[in-house]
A and B are shown apart, each in its own frame.
Chain A
Amino acid sequence: MSSAQIEIQIIACLVAVACAIPGTFLVLRKMAMISDAISHSILPGIVIGFFLTEDLNSPWLILLAAMTGVITVVLVEFIQKTGLVKEDTAIGLVFPTLFSIGVILIAKNANDVHLDVDVVFLGELAYAPSYRFLINGMDLGPKSLWVIGTILLVTLLLLITFFKELKISTFDKQLAATLGFSPVVVHYGLMSIASVTTVGAFDAVGAILVVALMIAPAAIAYLLTNDLKKMLVIAVFSGIASALTGYWIAHYLDASIAGSIATVLGVLFLLVYLFAPKKGLISVLFRQKRQQMEVYLLTFLLHLQNHTEESERHLNHLSEHINWGKIRSKTVLDLALKNNMIIIENNIISLTEKGQGFTEKAIDYITTNSTVAIEKMKEDFFLFRG
């Protein structure tokens, strides 16, 4: 690996981490669209900043452009508060306006600005190592490494310091307010970080990948855990994994790195969406199927308990009276047998002691809805879990 390759991968990973952190809170606050809006509406800020500083990595440009991001949020909320339109409409009104102001500014000054819309949106990681950070002629590495590194450091510090405040104001705004943590301060703090990160990263990876790196890893992590800290960790690592995988795929296919990383993120999300152990589509379908089966089993056991007369407990009765097809009757019967809940003698089905006890517990739960009863059942039965 050449040093440029290593530098590119480090930059990609730093961007991934810097995006995953604010992204997690954006996803939890159901504000994914806002990051998209910010990524577009920073354009006029970048252009104006570029007129003033002539340097895409200047801290002034970053702060100025980030301010445009925060202004976007303020405008969206202002329009929304009028109560005339919903949030998505407000977003759709604000960012194209700001974005087109940026486009006009670029077009008007095309002659003296070496900045084009494509670069802003797609970025090109491959070129990131060619802009060096020099002090007295000493080469300290690529500029974007320093920019994104600084942003990441600030983000991490803020996250560790204000984790509790972020958590409570995301989970329960009202409680946060009544406990004296201004949700407004936390909200705009988060929006500022998201804006600064977007601006700081766009030059290296492009605004589109910034959005993908903010939202996809958080969405992936959300499907995999029920713990906020773990969610942050998983988001960070899926961001890093996608960045590296994407980089090498691009390398072998000779394709755009940003495009490749975004694709990997999409594929990873799809895989997690399908296969996540608890919230994944397949596991949800499987669980539904199983719960349905258990309801049948319970119905069957209740029937047996209700009827002492043999005619009602004859094997054939199952399909005739309960009106179940052959396959369902057989699966239910097998399930009950496998769990030692019934015995069959001369085609007559009877509850075993275990089956009896279980059925009673179930009736107890159904009639009283008591939490004690359900807690006990959970150990041997799937149906009443979560």
Chain B
Amino acid sequence: MEKKYAITVDDLTVAYNYKPVLWDIDLAIPEGVLMAIVGPNGAGKSTLIKSILGIIKPIAGSVKIFGKPYKKQHQEVAYVPQKGSVDWDFPTTALDVVMMGTYGSLGWIKRPGQKEKKAALEALEKVGMLSFKSRQISQLSGGQQQRIFLARALVQNASIYLMDEPFQGVDATTEKAIINILKELRKAGKTLIVVHHDLQTVPEYFDWVTFLNVKKIATGPVKDIFNDGNLTKTYGINYKVSVQE
């Protein structure tokens, strides 16, 4: 096997209170792809991402990051949660939140310094949020909060980025800006996995796609498998998207 896989998921079954929401998933994500995960609400997309991150323990199967379990590889992975699992009223600023992304590489005890601050400021600049750096986070709009989380993932300087609906609640300009950042990251050899709801934009944004609905329906290059057949299988209704070339 020549190809290098960023993430391999093997026979993964995940259940909440013994009710399986992901059945026997096998998935091998090649390094350097920009991949969309698509599927209806409740399909288990967020659950899949959380199991990759080890936040949820599966009842069967395993996940490997570059061939090793997540615990040993957490520095390689950055995560942008669906809607921040954070306490918005926490006394902290946008800059501070972005700095938290650097904590992983610092490890226990060591404190962030000038280098980390500089990285955080650069990331804020990249997502166009520099002028908001001292704002308390609850005083940001939903889309701005989303960008802060993206910036926080950027400073983690990881090899793999897992993003749960990063375009939720952001305007069209921001969406374009974010996708450009993602494409840049892919050019730099990073692997990006993005839960995405807007089927229209899949061919334009992504080069790899996974269809998921409790079971894995299909996974592969967008140009080969993004078709009405797979969409219908995933969404259950007769699906037709007009794929623009």
A and B co-occur in one complex: yes
Is there an interface contact between B53 and A178, defined as CB atoms closer than 8 Å?
yes
Is there an interface contact between B92 and A181, defined as CB atoms closer than 8 Å?
no
B111 at the interface (CB under 8 A from A): yes
Is there an interface contact between B53 and A222, defined as CB atoms closer than 8 Å?
no
Shortest beta-carbon distance from B135 to chain A in Å: 8
Give which listed residue, A28, A164, A174, A228, contacts B103 with CB less than 8 A: A164
Is there an interface contact between B86 and A172, defined as CB atoms closer than 8 Å?
yes
Q: How far is the CA of A244 from the CA of B16 in the complex (A)?
A: 52
Is there an interface contact between B91 and A231, defined as CB atoms closer than 8 Å?
yes
Provide the residues of chain A in CB contact with B97, threshold 8 Å: 171
Provide the residues of chain B in CB contact with A225, threshold 8 Å: 91
Provide the residues of chain B in CB contact with A161, threshold 8 Å: 109
Q: Is the interface of B mostly helix, strand, loop or mixed?
A: loop
Shortest beta-carbon distance from B133 to chain A in Å: 13
Known: A162-B109, A163-B111, A231-B91. A181 touches B100 (CB 8 A): no
Shortest beta-carbon distance from A73 to chain B in Å: 19
Q: How far is the CA of A294 from the CA of B53 in the complex (A)?
A: 48
Give which listed residue, A162, A171, A177, A180, contacts B90 with CB less than 8 A: A171
**In the complex, which residues 75-112 of chain B have their Cβ closer than 8 Å to any Cβ of chain A?**
75, 77, 79, 81, 84-87, 90-93, 97, 100, 103-104, 106-109, 111-112
Known: A163-B111, A179-B104. A174 touches B85 (CB 8 A): yes
Give which listed residue, B77, B84, B104, B131, contacts A172 with CB less than 8 A: B84
Is there an interface contact between B55 and A174, defined as CB atoms closer than 8 Å?
yes
Is there an interface contact between A178 and B79, defined as CB atoms closer than 8 Å?
yes
Give which listed residue, B85, B92, B103, B139, contacts A179 with CB less than 8 A: B103
Shortest beta-carbon distance from B149 to chain A in Å: 9
Is there an interface contact between B144 and A371, defined as CB atoms closer than 8 Å?
yes
CB-nearest residue of chain B to A30: B87
Is there an interface contact between B91 and A227, defined as CB atoms closer than 8 Å?
yes
CB-nearest residue of chain A to B85: A174
B74 at the interface (CB under 8 A from A): yes
Give which listed residue, A171, A181, A231, A369, contacts B87 with CB less than 8 A: A171
Q: How far is the CA of A164 from the CA of B109 in the complex (A)?
A: 7
Give which listed residue, A164, A170, A177, contacts B55 with CB less than 8 A: A177
Q: How far is the CA of A226 from the CA of B94 in the complex (A)?
A: 11
Provide the residues of chain B in CB contact with A28, threshold 8 Å: 87, 90-91
Provide the residues of chain B in CB contact with A177, threshold 8 Å: 53-55
Provide the residues of chain A in CB contact with B111, threshold 8 Å: 163-164
B157 at the interface (CB under 8 A from A): no
Provide the residues of chain A in CB contact with B91, threshold 8 Å: 28, 222, 225-228, 230-231
**In the complex, which residues 176-221 of chain A have their Cβ closer than 8 Å to any Cβ of chain B?**
177-181
Known: A28-B90, A225-B91, A226-B93. A175 touches B79 (CB 8 A): yes
Shortest beta-carbon distance from B101 to chain A in Å: 8
Q: How many residues of B contact A (CB 8 A)?
A: 37
Give which listed residue, B112, B135, B171, contacts A164 with CB less than 8 A: B112
A386 at the interface (CB under 8 A from B): yes
Cβ-Cβ contact count across A and B, 8 Å cutoff:
85
Q: How far is the CA of A231 from the CA of B96 in the complex (A)?
A: 15
A375 at the interface (CB under 8 A from B): yes
B230 at the interface (CB under 8 A from A): no
B136 at the interface (CB under 8 A from A): yes
Shortest beta-carbon distance from B155 to chain A in Å: 11
A312 at the interface (CB under 8 A from B): no
**In the complex, which residues 232-251 of chain A have their Cβ closer than 8 Å to any Cβ of chain B?**
none
Interface string of B122-156 (1 = CB under 8 A from A): 00000000010001100101001000000010001
A168 at the interface (CB under 8 A from B): yes
Known: A163-B111, A164-B112. A181 touches B103 (CB 8 A): yes
**In the complex, which residues 51-89 of chain B have their Cβ closer than 8 Å to any Cβ of chain A?**
53-55, 71, 74-75, 77, 79, 81, 84-87
Provide the residues of chain A in CB contact with B75, threshold 8 Å: 180
Shortest beta-carbon distance from B79 to chain A in Å: 5
A165 at the interface (CB under 8 A from B): yes
Q: How far is the CA of A222 from the CA of B100 in the complex (A)?
A: 21
Q: How far is the CA of A83 from the CA of B77 in the complex (A)?
A: 32
Provide the residues of chain B in CB contact with A228, threshold 8 Å: 90-92
Q: How far is the CA of A175 from the CA of B111 in the complex (A)?
A: 17
**In the complex, which residues 151-165 of chain A have their Cβ closer than 8 Å to any Cβ of chain B?**
161-165
Q: How far is the CA of A180 from the CA of B158 in the complex (A)?
A: 14
A314 at the interface (CB under 8 A from B): no
Is there an interface contact between A170 and B90, defined as CB atoms closer than 8 Å?
yes
Q: How far is the CA of A164 from the CA of B112 in the complex (A)?
A: 8
Provide the residues of chain A in CB contact with B141, threshold 8 Å: 371
Give which listed residue, A170, A180, A375, contacts B104 with CB less than 8 A: A180
Provide the residues of chain B in CB contact with A180, threshold 8 Å: 71, 74-75, 104, 107
Q: How far is the CA of A180 from the CA of B90 in the complex (A)?
A: 21
CB-nearest residue of chain A to B70: A178
Is there an interface contact between B109 and A175, defined as CB atoms closer than 8 Å?
no
CB-nearest residue of chain A to B84: A172
Provide the residues of chain A in CB contact with B108, threshold 8 Å: 162, 165, 181
Closest 3 CB pairs of A and B: A179-B104, A386-B139, A172-B86
Known: A172-B85, A172-B100, A230-B91. 9 other contacts (CB 8 A): A167-B100, A172-B87, A174-B85, A178-B54, A178-B74, A180-B107, A226-B91, A227-B93, A386-B136
- A sample of 20 inter-chain contacts (CB < 8 A) reads A162-B108, A162-B109, A164-B106, A168-B103, A171-B92, A171-B97, A172-B85, A173-B85, A174-B55, A174-B81, A174-B85, A175-B152, A178-B55, A179-B103, A180-B104, A181-B103, A225-B91, A227-B92, A228-B91, A369-B171
